[in-house]
A and B are shown apart, each in its own frame.
Chain A
Amino acid sequence: MNAKVADRVATGVFIVIAFIIVSVLIGLFSFILYHGFQHVSLKFLTTPSSNMSAGGGIRDQLFNSFYVLFITMLITVPLGVGGGVYMAEYARPGRITNIIRSCIEVLASLPSIVIGLFGLLMFVTLTGWGYTILGGALALTVFNLPVMVRVTEDAIHSVPRDLKEASLALGITHWHTIKTILLPSAFPTILTGGILAAGRVFGEAAALLFTAGLSTPRLDYTDWNPFSQISPLNIFRPAETLAVHIWSINTQGLIPDVDAVSNGSAAVLILSVLLFNLLARWIGSLIHKKVTATK
């Protein structure tokens, strides 16, 4: 076969692959949205869920999902970015670096169910907290952290060498270079990686089942004191997230409208991810423009 024909064929194959990936997503999305959208309404989003009767909403679950995500990111992002900087800039090739890298990969490949069970004994039983948002967030941190580290490391590696060298040549210290040159230029990539990680956290159920629990206490949304029992901001209360809610009503739910609620929740869940994604992209490009002064 002539090289040019082979090239054409290969190009065709790659286009087909891209097409398959896109159509899988479109198929999944339209399936979820078609089945879910019939049940999504303002009322659905603002009523608390019900244990037995039809017509329950997902107000608390929706809030919990975002709140757990927020707490997880609050822990993960500084740690993950710090770890990534270490791996990219300070780690000298050698046995210790190898061990750390293996640790990261092992953490990344741990089954979420195992992390959930680890969390159950560690954050629920051992600490005596019971099922808490913090326990859930810490469990999620375990598998979110390696993702953030890898993302940060790759992002810093992809910053052109010249930039770093120019900065060092100006007599700026290593840490200062990282802070003022490398991290800002790597920021949009880190952000995209962060979104990916956030998407996984948002949809995670297995690890949260055992750590954040399956229930939500009565919440008073006017109570903003994080230490109050009924405050939504209390990180020491159990919280059922949207993904866990889908799982729990699908498995044991006795409400007559299981399908409606679970389809609606799934639609809300992926729509949130979509919105979140778009928003983060927009902010990312905005910051990129501001920091690098490019258009």
Chain B
Amino acid sequence: MTYFRGVIFFMEKLVPAKERLLKSQKNWMNGEVRGKIIVFICAIIMISATIAITIFLGTKGLQSFIKNGVSLIEFLTGKQWNPSDQAKPQYGALPFIFGSFTVTFLAALIAAPLGIGGAIFMTEIAPSWGRKILQPVIELLVGIPSVVYGFIGLTVLVPFIRVHFGGLGFSLLSGMIVLSIMILPTITTIATDAMSSLPKTLREGSYALGATRWQTIRKVLIPAAIPSLLTAIVLGMARAFGEALAVQMVIGNVKTMPHSILDASGTLTTIITLNMGYTTFGSPENNILWSMGLLLLIMSFAFILLIRYLSSRRKI
């Protein structure tokens, strides 16, 4: 009896242990599957968010062309903007399209060298203390709300430009300066990541060949990092493109084409923010604003396709 009991006891002890072993193995497998499911769900959510916004903006934005009979040619090339006119509304958005593009490129022109320069300073020139100072600075710049940028621009920059450069002060120049500061953190952060993720062997190889630091940076590091650097600039430009509240306060929001950098201008986003609240859903003047939103979306698609093309050519 005792022998049997002993066997049973032994079996009891044995089986759970085996089960536990199996279980833990199963758990591992489950973890693998579960993990995969979780990350797949995340990916699906992102895709569906993009698709939802695209469909949503697409249907809203096309209303004005389909339902209200606005001519697409007029929208893209017309210079007269007067959608509130009851008798003869005009929907020429060219000045705003031009304004958006101009102010974005000008801002990138300032922010890109500054941002990439800052990134190189952090990774190549002074990796220890430079990074300790610049990194928090960049992060804090992100934390300043665009409204505050706008108001500092309005109180400091606009009068400064009016007094020292002439014009009204409300100008492409003001918009460009405010925007370049706003997109600086985006460009710097991504550029820094790009530079610091380059393999150490690249630098060491170059130095071993007797190249100076500048030669290494110019001939080895920047060409190696160029796709990511371009991504940094494009994402910065995308942010500049979409910025509304700060630009609105300094750019003047006129409906005419700017002729110089000191002229006031308007952008797609500022016109959307200024008019969206006053128009009623479904009215032609509201729909045309959604068309402008769709245009913004198409432009960011175009930007990304462009960068895809560039980076695929650079990568060997």
CA distance A220 to B296 in the complex (A): 42
- Further pairs besides A25-B141, A243-B145: 5, Cβ < 8 Å: A18-B118, A103-B51, A107-B50, A114-B296, A118-B56
30 of the cross-chain contacts (CB-CB < 8 Å) are: A7-B212, A18-B122, A20-B114, A24-B141, A32-B144, A83-B43, A83-B45, A85-B39, A85-B42, A100-B46, A107-B53, A109-B304, A113-B269, A113-B273, A113-B293, A114-B297, A117-B293, A118-B53, A142-B49, A174-B32, A175-B32, A196-B139, A199-B143, A204-B146, A246-B145, A247-B245, A269-B143, A270-B148, A273-B140, A277-B136
- Find A205's partner among B38, B47, B147 (CB 8 Å cutoff): B147
Decide if B32 touches A262 in the complex (CB within 8 Å).
no
Kindly name the residue among B43, B51, B151, B293 whose own CB sees the greatest number of chain A CB atoms within 10 A.
Answer: B43
Contacts of A164 in B (CB 8 A): none
A residues 115-169 touching B (CB-CB < 8 Å): 115, 117-118, 121-122, 142, 145-146, 149, 154, 157-158
Decide if A109 touches B239 in the complex (CB within 8 Å).
yes
CA distance A192 to B126 in the complex (A): 20
The distance from the CB of B288 to the nearest CB of chain A, in whole angstroms, is: 14
Decide if A82 touches B39 in the complex (CB within 8 Å).
yes
- Find A109's partner among B34, B40, B130, B242 (CB 8 Å cutoff): B242
Decide if A146 touches B46 in the complex (CB within 8 Å).
yes
Chain B interface helix/strand/loop/mixed: helix
The distance from the CB of A90 to the nearest CB of chain B, in whole angstroms, is: 6
The distance from the CB of B87 to the nearest CB of chain A, in whole angstroms, is: 28
Decide if A7 touches B215 in the complex (CB within 8 Å).
yes
Chain A interface helix/strand/loop/mixed: helix
CA distance A149 to B293 in the complex (A): 25
Decide if A277 touches B140 in the complex (CB within 8 Å).
yes
- Find A175's partner among B36, B53, B197 (CB 8 Å cutoff): B36
Q: Does A223 contact B (CB under 8 A)?
A: no
Chain B residues proximal to chain A, CB less than 8 Å? 28-29, 31-32, 34-36, 38-43, 45-47, 49-54, 56-57, 60, 113-114, 117-118, 120-122, 124-126, 130, 133-148, 151-152, 156, 181, 184-185, 188-189, 193, 196-197, 212-215, 217-218, 234-235, 238-239, 241-245, 269, 272-273, 276, 290, 293, 296-297, 300-301, 303-304, 307-308
CA distance A96 to B245 in the complex (A): 35
**A52-85 to B contact mask, C-beta < 8 Å, 1/0:** 0000000000000000000000000011101101
Decide if A79 touches B45 in the complex (CB within 8 Å).
yes
Decide if B189 touches A196 in the complex (CB within 8 Å).
yes
Decide if A13 touches B140 in the complex (CB within 8 Å).
no
Chain A residues proximal to chain B, CB less than 8 Å? 3-4, 6-7, 9-11, 13-15, 17-18, 20-22, 24-25, 28-29, 31-32, 78-80, 82-83, 85-87, 89-91, 98-100, 102-115, 117-118, 121-122, 142, 145-146, 149, 154, 157-158, 173-176, 178-179, 192, 195-196, 199-200, 202-206, 243, 246-247, 250, 262, 266, 269-270, 273-274, 277, 281
CA distance A274 to B140 in the complex (A): 7
Contacts of B32 in A (CB 8 A): 173-176
Decide if A31 touches B152 in the complex (CB within 8 Å).
yes
B239 (CB) vs chain A CBs: closest residue: A109
Contacts of B122 in A (CB 8 A): 18
Contacts of B297 in A (CB 8 A): 106, 110, 114
Decide if A262 touches B35 in the complex (CB within 8 Å).
no
Q: With A21-B114, A175-B36, A206-B245 in contact, is A111–B31 under 8 Å at CB?
A: no
CA distance A154 to B242 in the complex (A): 24
Q: With A270-B140, A277-B136 in contact, is A31–B114 under 8 Å at CB?
A: no
Contacts of B308 in A (CB 8 A): 98, 102
Decide if B36 touches A176 in the complex (CB within 8 Å).
no
A276 (CB) vs chain B CBs: closest residue: B143
- Find B120's partner among A14, A80, A199, A202 (CB 8 Å cutoff): A14
Decide if B53 touches A90 in the complex (CB within 8 Å).
no
Decide if B42 touches A206 in the complex (CB within 8 Å).
no
CA distance A123 to B254 in the complex (A): 33
Closest 8 CB pairs of A and B: A111-B242, A109-B238, A203-B145, A273-B143, A82-B42, A175-B35, A17-B117, A199-B143
Q: With A111-B269, A154-B197 in contact, is A11–B300 under 8 Å at CB?
A: no
